[in-house]
Amino acid sequence: MILKHIINQIKYLLERTVSFKSWIFQSQNLQKLQNKKTNKQKMNKLLISALICLMIATPSVFCQDVENNISEDIKVQDLLAYNKWRFNYKRVYLNEEEQIYRQIVFFENLASVNKHPSHKSYSKGLNQFSDMTKEEFKQRVLNKKISKKASSNKGGRNLAADPAVSNLVFPTNNLPLSVDWRKRGVLNPVKNQGTCGSCWTFATAGILESFNQIKNKQLLKFSEQQLVDCVSLAGYDSDGCDGGFQEDGVRYAIEYGIVQSYKYPYVGYQGRCKVTSPTSRSVGFYPQKFQLVNKTEADLKAALVFSPVSISVNADTWKEYYGGVFDECGYTTEEDLNHAVIAVGYDQEGNWIVRNSWSAAWGEDGYIRLAPGNTCGILLDGLIVTQ
């Protein structure tokens, strides 16, 4: 059975892959070189040799020669990695040109993963974004709105008289050595926003779910899709898959209520709003107040003692994160924020524990650990539901 599986894999590669050098990207389109046939024959010969290597129990000089010969093209193990990745993530492309382009992008991302220094505090790996360029990742996944809020609010806001804003004091003295809400049963399994820039709705729904469990001992799943479809219609600045603000999401829930996700399931694109008036309290969950977290490390830790906290970060460099403590965002200001997530705690070393919305297959079962301090801007836009 194993031999049959290997042969089928190689057959697939022979049918669907060509030498990397037999394709180039010119004028934003992939063009076949005139020597395609020669290069494909070369790759086929190498792949057949690789099949022999795969059937040999121990390494050999022959196999080393195969690897050396193929090094100037795409290595056999890279082709196998692509085939395995594509199968695992069920990738289907529009046409052959799109497939070839995505394959080349994958190889570039794979090279980035393989070249990542082993001495770093975090590791890189393949995931659902491995056939996306950095620019596509920013456009399709990250939030285009958060940094605009920072620019528009430079003059500051007076929230003292706002009935939706509480003024609780979270003591910053005698803080516990660590906090981890994952261990307290207040978090649902990690969700997946897909290629809709709706991270703000997942951060909003997530802190509402946790607050409801802490307050009412009910761990429900609230509808991100309701926020995607309806918040802008209610007059807020957020705009569905084009990005938005957690504060808008919470204010909307205070006014209209938020229903459970089984009543309004997530589809990953903005559609017609199905909740055009406040829901009955037997159907929707109504938070009453929220609070913005002061922008210090001690204040965020103190808020985390109370409950999980919605935060905004710059996630430009998170695309290939696999595990460990991430510390490579660079200097981050409010204008750089472009992704909404949830801080769920900190460990004894002071590293932040952050819940993402890119599925449990990304990072550490859907989470990322950030180095202490203002890493990726974690201290700049915290929000907590208080009542």
Q: Please give the positions annotated as active site.
A: 199, 339, 356
Residue 382 CB partners (closer than 8 Å, separation 6+): 292, 293, 295, 299, 300, 303, 309, 310, 311, 343
Q: Using CB atoms within 10 Å of the CB of residue 183, give its burial: 0 to 12 exposed, 13 to 18 middle, 19+ buried.
A: exposed
Phi, psi dihedral angles at 25 (to 5 degrees): -105, 110
Query: How many angstroms separate the CA atoms of 147 and 172, rounded?
Result: 28
SS (H, E, C) 85-132: HHHHCCCCCCCHHHHHHHHHHHHHHHHHHHHCCCCCCEEECCCCCCCC
Annotate 285-327 with DSSP letters as a single string: B----EEEPPSSHHHHHHHHHHS-EEEEE--TT-TTEEEEEE-
Question: What distance in Å separates the CA atoms of residue 54 and residue 197, rounded to the nearest whole number?
Answer: 42
Q: Where are the extended beta strands (E) located within the chain?
A: 23-26, 29-32, 122-124, 179-180, 290-292, 309-313, 321-326, 339-346, 352-355, 367-370, 383-385
For residue 195, give both structure tokens: 């290629």
Please report, for residues 100, 199, 204, 354, the alpha-carbon distance to residue 357 in angstroms, rounded to integers and kept in the order given.
29, 7, 11, 10
Place of tokens 């510390």: 327
Q: Nearest Cα to 295, choosing from 311, 316, 314? A: 311
